Amino acid sequence: MGDEAGWARLAGDRPGRTSPAPLVLVWLAWVLVPPLLVFGGAIGSAPFFGEEPTAAERAQTTTLYLVAVALALGLPLLGLALTWRTRRVAAACFGAALIVAAVPAGLLLAQEYRGAGGGPAPDSGPPVCQEHSGGDNRCPGG
């Protein structure tokens, strides 16, 4: 029994302290998951081969952005709650992460609220008439 207490002291475990493993998982999830969700949303709403995204693709993009914002703000908040009493340095780091995540999350929510990516492309002028061989001419004026 005394041997286990010695290993616990060497590992830095004290009564009332949480294990560092969940904290590392929260950090990794915060660093990896929200940026990947934002990237997936950006790819899902990008026009490929000149075709605009459909309404379903825009809805999926909005969902991915909202989940990314929720995780970007929720994971540091969870880490802050886990470390508030026992690990002051880790709590300060999670608080800083929460502040850092608030700025891009606010910008992303503002962009989605304005609907910057959801509307059709602006009109670039009158349509251009292209004549084709082997048929009648449908261009105005000729």
pLDDT digits (tens, 9 = 90+) for 8-56: 454 444 555 657 778 888 889 888 999 999 899 888 888 888 788 888 8
Q: Pseudo-torsion of CA 95, 96, 98, 100, nearest 10°? A: 170
Domain enclosing residue 68, as ranges: 30-114
pLDDT score of 34 = 92
Question: In terms of pLDDT, which residue wins out, 9 or 105?
Answer: 105
pLDDT averaged over the chain?
Answer: 77
pLDDT single digits (tens) 52-100: 888 888 888 888 988 999 999 998 988 888 888 788 888 888 889 989 8
pLDDT of residue 4 exceeding 80, the answer is no
Q: Contact 129/139 with Cβ under 8 angstroms? A: yes
Is residue 60 included in any domain, yes or no?
A: yes
Is 16 domain-assigned?
Answer: no
Q: How many CB atoms within 10 Å of residue 105?
A: 20
How many distinct structural domains can be found in the chain? 1
Residue 75 falls within a domain, yes or no? yes
| Cα–Cα distance, 124 to 128 (Å, whole number) | 11
* Predicted local distance difference test score (pLDDT) of residue 59: 86
- Reported pTM: 0.62
- Answer yes or no: is 55 within a domain: yes
